[in-house]
Amino acid sequence: MIRIKTLKTDLSATGLGFLAGILGYVCWNLGLLPDLRALFPANLTTLDSPVAGGLMVGYSVAIGLTVSRLGLRASWLYIAVSVVVLASAYIIAAHVFGLNLLFEPLLFSGGLSLLFVQVNRLWSLDRQFARTLLNSPVTVNDSRVGANARLASGLKLLNTVLPLNEAVVFNCVGSDLEAVVRFKCAAPNPQDPRRNSVWREGIKLCQNAAATGKLMSQTTQNSATVAVPLLQEGETAGVLLIRPAAEFSDDDIPLLEAVGSQFARNLKRESFSKNPARTRSLSYFSQTGNKRKLEALNVLKALTVEQRCEASTLAYIDDGVAIAHLDGTLALVNPSLLGFAGITSAHALELDLFDLLHKFRTDVFDEPEIAVRRVLQTGVAYEGELNFEQKEQILSIRISLLHEREDRHSPEPIGIAVYVKDLTATKEYEKLKSDMISLMSHELRTPLTSINGFAELLTADQTVPAQAREFVSIIANESQRMSRMINTFLSVTQLERKDKQEVLKIPLRLDEVVRETIASLQPVAKKKRIRLIEQPAHRIPPVAADRSLITQAVKNLVNNAIKYSPERTTVTVSTALEAETVRVCVEDRGYGIPAEAKERVWDKFYRVVREGREKDEESTGLGLSFVREVVEQHGGQVELDSEEGRGSKFSFTLPRL
């Protein structure tokens, strides 16, 4: 690409140099150039026309290529040396050989070539500048909300702080004023005889404000009229005409000027986007084209002002935020992050991204450079928890890439964001919650064990009346159900904790887990006259998983399938390799799950209510929730495919090794 561009530049310079040589030759033939032969005593012999033309063209092309490749500033020394050499050769040839080497035409042709090539270089740069500037997304259409909607919203805001009877925003179109947006607090009285005269006075006031660039006000007996020029970069974009409902004072002027600046930016952007340039190739020589580029620069300035407004909001949030450019320099660090890092704003000016990240080094986050490198290489955000025991503080940190526009097909990274949040209070709450759950569960287990034990003894005692034994049997069953509920609830709660280090992942073959589960649950299935079978698959690769947790998850799925299947039906458990995952599937021919309940069956304590059937009192509503927590903790996904009255298919996938 660079070679093609260089070749095109050389061809252009050669063509312009050739044109300059031809023009010099023509001017010499027509006698339009000064002649220095009068300075020499003898008549000088002039070169033949073809030779003279060739010299002029060759010298012009050489000058053109030199300026094109080196630039005017770097090539002036070579050009000066060539002029001196030409002058010396001319003098020597004239005195010694009586030969005229055409110094004047050569100098004229070389000067023309220098002028042509330099103008062409400037023109090419201007075309590139105009193309980049005018095709920029922020200058083509930098706002998703139209200018009129923003102006109307601004008038409503202004009315809340400065009650208005009426307000009109005018756009300056040449020397005329065009009403863009109106705001009226109350309907005007059409019978008011002064209405037309008041309107004419307001228009005149607006014209004066637009001409002078200064706020104009006029007070009558009962009301005031104020015209505020809408200025951007010293140029009047429009005028805001207001009639306050209350008495107007000088204290309101700063408010009107601030709102007026925003209105001016809106009008300029709208005007720019609705009036595209007709041609850009000749904008270098066009007053309109250059004015268009100036308007584009003003739009960019307006956008910069609004972006500073957006960035300033980061100073008012409790979480720490820092934004760095891709060269590592810090663009913004909000006060919260300065507090977390223990530095002042003056000190932050001396730091780069890595200096700042080193303020958060811990045993886990000991090499910030590696984290940043992975983010830049993969585009995936880095997340971690930082435990500062000396300060008794726990922070979460997130390092991610910032992109130019997220809605693009392949957004270009433009910066790095660091997000730090204080988790100290949250962690203390989670620990307190976990301790409380463990304490309550322990306190509940002790009396439940006693209740269950004595209930079983009473059930076995034949001296107890039959009706009493029935009641005692109910007590025993309910105490056992409560014990199962407590155990499952503790398992789910433990899985939901943020520190997942208690899970021991080893290479595990899921087909072996399925085979062991089926063997252990065959008695339960036979008791209910359910046929429990395995559908084996060949060459199932292992997964990284905790054996006890995955085994319990499979047992929960198989138990559910047995429990909710009619007698003399089949429950099939299968394993299969799917691309980079291994799937375990439990399929039954049971009652099925209604469509409205499919998303909720994974929630804790949720139990399906089937039409014409009572809710299963033995179910805790925690079995499927436990399955989902275990599978997602291992990086997998759960799925459900069910049709009411025809059975269900519960499955989950885990990444293969």
- The confidence band for 352, taking pLDDT boundaries of 50, 70 and 90, is confident
The arithmetic mean of pLDDT across residues 574-591, rounded, is 88
Strongest mean pLDDT among 341-355, 427-441, 601-615:
341-355
Is the confidence at residue 362, as pLDDT, over 80?
A: yes
Is the confidence at residue 577, as pLDDT, over 70?
A: yes
Q: Model confidence over 478-518: pLDDT tens digits?
A: 888 787 777 766 766 665 554 444 567 788 889 899 999 99
| CATH level 3 topology of 150-274 | Beta-Lactamase (3.30.450)
486 with 444: CB under 8 angstroms?
yes
Provide the strand spans (E) within 185-219. 216-219
Would the pTM of this model clear 0.85, i.e. be above it?
Answer: no
Q: Which residues contact 651 (CB under 8 A, 6 or more apart)?
A: 583, 584, 585, 586, 638, 639, 640, 641
Q: What is the 3-state composition of the chain as percent helix, strand, coil, each rounded to the nearest 5? A: 55, 20, 25
- The confidence band for 399, taking pLDDT boundaries of 50, 70 and 90, is very high
Domain ranges within the chain, ordered by starting residue? 2-134, 150-274, 317-422, 427-496, 506-655
- CA–CA gap between residue 19 and residue 13 (Å, rounded): 10
Is the confidence at residue 137, as pLDDT, over 70?
A: no
Q: What is the CATH number of domain 317-422?
A: 3.30.450.20
Question: What region, left, alpha or beta, does residue 141 occupy, with left being phi > 0 and alpha being psi -120 to 50 degrees?
Answer: beta
Q: Identify which of 655, 466, 634 has the alpha carbon closest to the alpha carbon of residue 553.
A: 634
Question: Residue 7 is encoded by which pair of tokens?
Answer: 């070749």
- The confidence band for 308, taking pLDDT boundaries of 50, 70 and 90, is low
Is the confidence at residue 465, as pLDDT, over 90?
A: no
- The confidence band for 159, taking pLDDT boundaries of 50, 70 and 90, is confident
Domains 150-274 and 317-422 share a fold: yes
Domain 506-655 has CATH 3.30.450.260: no
* DSSP one-letter code for 392: T
Between residues 317 and 1, the one the model is more confident about: 317
